[in-house]
A = this chain, B = another copy of it.
Amino acid sequence: MDTLTKKQKRILEFIEKYTKDNSYPPTLKDIALKFQITIGTIQDHIFALQRKGYLERKKDKARGFKIIKTTDGIDKPHGVDMGMIPLYGKVAAGEPIFANDNINGYVVFEKNARGHNIHFALEVTGESMIDSGIYDGDIVIVRKQEQADDGDIVIALLDDEATVKKLRRNNIKAYLEASNSKYKAIMNRPFKIIGKVIELRRKYDLLQKQML
């Protein structure tokens, strides 16, 4: 593996950071200004980065950089569709969940290439799904849909309140089931499915201890 010099590494890092900050890559001149050297010199460095396989660029295209390997030598995965989905907060009964002012944060999420679905995230409260390994404080990622199969974990509206439960359905009827022996199934109340849980996330270590 072709390894980078310090200068090359710093330039590659700058391109990455600039792109992240501005949403578009730098020009040769931007880089030259940053490092207080001339464009001609930057040309040399860029050429080296290309030769060593860290950077690609399109001829004659402004800001036409594409990083293909990071400074630690790890290939950048390509064609991965990642984005942010909103994390909605709890809502009092009757209020709309999907309101812009009910967004408590965002969660990074890798979209399944195919689906053109809409996703969102919710924080789980309570212990009712503990036997399915879903704990209080966990975050679930949900695909919006109004139908689901027997056994799916779903977000349902019960009395205008969003809740996480397991969907049960047979030929006769559908109902919601908790995963905790202390709770009983919800058999005879109307509910509406608003999405299916497709992923679970649990963060440890929220207040980061200084490592000794």
**Interface residues in chain A, defined as those with a beta carbon under 8 Å from any beta carbon in chain B:** 1, 19-20, 22-25, 27, 58, 61-67, 72-77, 80-82, 84, 86, 100, 103, 106-110, 112, 115, 118, 130, 133-135, 145, 147-149, 151-153, 196-205, 208-212
Indicate which residue in B107, B133, B151, B196 contacts A135 across the interface (CB closer than 8 Å): B133
Indicate which residue in B27, B107, B148 contacts A62 across the interface (CB closer than 8 Å): B27
Closest chain B CB from A47 CB (angstroms): 19
B64, A80: Cβ atoms closer than 8 Å: no
Given A23-B19, A65-B23, do A84 and B73 touch, yes or no (CB 8 Å)? no
Which chain B residues lie closer than 8 Å to A23 at the CB level? 19, 25, 65-67
Give this chain's copy count.
Answer: 2
Given A100-B73, A199-B202, do A211 and B147 touch, yes or no (CB 8 Å)? yes
Query: With A and B bound together, what is the CA distance between A147 and B133 in angstroms?
Result: 27
Indicate which residue in B74, B151, B203 contacts A199 across the interface (CB closer than 8 Å): B203
Indicate which residue in B112, B118, B148, B212 contacts A151 across the interface (CB closer than 8 Å): B212
Which chain B residues lie closer than 8 Å to A62 at the CB level? 27, 62-63
Which chain B residues lie closer than 8 Å to A74 at the CB level? 86, 100, 103
Which chain B residues lie closer than 8 Å to A145 at the CB level? 211
Which chain B residues lie closer than 8 Å to A200 at the CB level? 200-202, 204
Query: With A and B bound together, what is the CA distance between A110 and B66 in angstroms?
Result: 21
Query: With A and B bound together, what is the CA distance between A205 and B197 in angstroms?
Result: 8
Closest chain B CB from A140 CB (angstroms): 9
Closest chain B CB from A14 CB (angstroms): 15
Which chain B residues lie closer than 8 Å to A212 at the CB level? 147, 151
